[in-house]
């Protein structure tokens, strides 16, 4: 009788302590970054910086960014006109020699909010309020150091108050029905051109508990485009996260919409993934940026260069899929990737009940032994 009781008790206690569902992004990232694949890619990336300068890739990129700034300011790219708006904020996009050194973003974890099946489109705002953010990204093959055309570059970021579309929402905005699943705001895919570049119009991300302000990045290689402007097939050759300058974050967070969010801001240096990316790669994962107008509200242009290993194929597990009949959430393990208040409450009560049962059972066993 006692042995039986002990066995059942042990089973119960392992059940409660080893519960799955917690998604340790940091641990997954560390295992990823230490893989020989990533280590090798890192060394190759280091050698590309020089080539990018010598072959004029960065001069073309600077011209492209200048054209973007001009188009937002309603100015044609005539040299004379440009001189008159030479304010310090534009300095960095004017010429490549003045631009900060080329940034090569390394691999990072996918996180729990990726939704597959998203649409190919440049403007992903869907009318979400916030500071407009034009994102210019360029993919470089880490083996040849040349730009990569035909990459289907995907991004996703949270809105001004820290919510992601397309997934079951956090407790803080939960409206009882999962209408958020059908939303697509701040998610989209773009094809890179012959310079390996593509642009998005999104809004500057807000923040949510435990994470620094960031944008998720994924690169589909060899994908096929479907008639409904989604992609299928191919492989995921790059997964990354882009971060922002802490002073820029502070400025944005003090504007309308962002400042209504009472969640404490996690600075870059307190963010586990930021620190892992930073220390493991030796590269600075912070986006370069400039303002699109005289006030912050006019918007921001941010840019980066991402090294990609075309032979890499990463495992990418999505939280949900966008389909022709809306968003469909996936369940991994015991818990959905993004538990709502109700799930957390049920989970806590359930665990309490199991502990109580285990304790009563043990007392009963000890008495009867």
198 vs 73, 103, 123, 131, 194, CA distance in Å? 20, 16, 12, 20, 10
State the nearest-atom distance from the C-beta of 72 to ligand NAG, in Å. 8
Q: Does 123 bind ligand NAG (CB under 6 A)?
A: yes
Q: Does 136 bind ligand NAG (CB under 6 A)?
A: no
Binding track over 312-341 against ligand NAG, x by CB under 6 A: ----------xxx-----------------
Q: Does 117 bind ligand NAG (CB under 6 A)?
A: yes
Q: Which of 99, 157, 159, 278 binds ligand NAG (CB under 6 A)?
A: 159
Binding track over 214-243 against ligand NAG, x by CB under 6 A: ------------x-x-x-------------
State the nearest-atom distance from the C-beta of 265 to ligand NAG, in Å. 16
Q: Does 43 bind ligand NAG (CB under 6 A)?
A: no
Q: Does 180 bind ligand NAG (CB under 6 A)?
A: yes
Choices 123-131, 137-145, 287-295, 336-344 (CB under 6 A): range interacting with ligand NAG:
123-131
Q: Does 163 bind ligand NAG (CB under 6 A)?
A: yes
The rounded distance, in Å, linking the Cα atoms of 219 and 154 is 6
Q: Does 20 bind ligand NAG (CB under 6 A)?
A: no
Angle 155-160-166 (CA atoms, 0-180°, nearest 5)?
50
The rounded distance, in Å, linking the Cα atoms of 50 and 185 is 38
Choices 22-30, 124-132, 190-198, 353-361 (CB under 6 A): range interacting with ligand NAG:
124-132
State the nearest-atom distance from the C-beta of 173 to ligand NAG, in Å. 4
User: Bridge-partner residues for 321, per DSSP?
Assistant: 116, 328
Q: Which of 62, 160, 198, 249 binds ligand NAG (CB under 6 A)?
A: 160
Q: Does 35 bind ligand NAG (CB under 6 A)?
A: no
Query: Alpha helices, DSSP H only, in 157-284?
Result: 246-253, 272-281
211 vs 32, 269, 271, CA distance in Å? 19, 10, 6
Choices 20-28, 160-168, 186-194, 216-224 (CB under 6 A): range interacting with ligand NAG:
160-168
Token digits of residue 126: 């869907």
CA proximity to 278, closest of 106, 97, 163: 106
Token digits of residue 242: 């882009």
Number of residues that bind ligand NAG (CB under 6 A): 22
CA proximity to 178, closest of 164, 194, 189, 191: 164
The rounded distance, in Å, linking the Cα atoms of 176 and 179 is 9
Choices 82-90, 104-112, 118-126, 279-287 (CB under 6 A): range interacting with ligand NAG:
118-126
212 vs 38, 241, 312, CA distance in Å? 23, 11, 27
Secondary structure element (H or E) that encloses residue 61, with its range: helix 57-73
With contact defined as beta carbons under 8 Å apart, do 156 and 139 qualify? no
340 vs 234, 275, 343, CA distance in Å? 33, 28, 5
Choices 97-105, 126-134, 246-254, 360-368 (CB under 6 A): range interacting with ligand NAG:
126-134
Q: Does 192 bind ligand NAG (CB under 6 A)?
A: no
- Binding footprint of ligand NAG on the chain (CB under 6 A): 117, 123, 125-129, 159-161, 163, 169, 173, 180, 201, 226, 228, 230, 257, 322-324
């Amino acid at each position: 009788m006692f042995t039986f009781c002990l066995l059942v008790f042990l089973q119960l206690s392992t059940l409660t302590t080893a519960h799955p569902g917690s998604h340790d992004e940091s641990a997954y990232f560390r295992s990823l970054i230490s893989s020989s694949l990533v280590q090798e890619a890192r060394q190759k990336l280091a050698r590309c910086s020089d080539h990018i300068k010598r072959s004029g890739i960065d001069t073309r990129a600077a011209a492209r960014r200048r054209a973007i700034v001009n188009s937002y300011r309603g100015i044609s790219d005539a040299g004379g006109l440009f001189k008159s708006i030479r304010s310090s904020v534009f300095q960095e996009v004017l010429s490549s020699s003045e631009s900060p050194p080329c940034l090569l973003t390394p691999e990072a974890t996918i996180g729990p909010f990726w939704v597959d099946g998203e649409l190919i489109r440049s403007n992903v705002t869907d009318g979400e309020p916030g500071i407009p953010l034009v994102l210019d990204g360029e993919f470089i093959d880490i083996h040849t150091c040349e730009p990569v055309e035909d990459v289907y570059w995907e991004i996703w970021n949270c809105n001004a108050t820290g919510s992601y579309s397309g997934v079951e929402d956090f407790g803080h905005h939960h409206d009882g029905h999962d209408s958020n699943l059908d939303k697509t705001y701040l998610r989209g895919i773009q094809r890179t051109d012959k310079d390996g570049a593509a642009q998005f119009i999104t809004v500057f991300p807000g923040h949510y508990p435990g994470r620094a302000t960031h944008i998720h990045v994924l690169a589909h290689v060899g994908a096929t485009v479907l008639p409904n402007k989604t992609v299928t097939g191919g492989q995921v050759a790059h997964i990354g996260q882009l971060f922002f300058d802490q002073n820029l974050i502070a400025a944005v967070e003090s504007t309308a919409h962002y400042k209504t969010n009472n969640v404490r801001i996690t600075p870059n240096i307190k963010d586990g993934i930021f620190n892992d990316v930073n220390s493991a790669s030796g590269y600075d994962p912070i986006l370069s940026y400039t303002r699109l107008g005289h006030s912050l509200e006019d918007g921001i242009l941010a840019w980066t260069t991402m090294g990609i290993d075309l032979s890499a194929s990463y495992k990418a597990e999505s939280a949900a899929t966008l389909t022709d009949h809306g968003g469909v959430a996936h369940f991994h393990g015991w818990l959905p990737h993004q538990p709502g208040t109700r799930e957390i409450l049920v989970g806590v009560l359930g665990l309490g009940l199991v502990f109580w049962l285990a304790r009563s059972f043990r007392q009963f066993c000890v008495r009867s032994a």
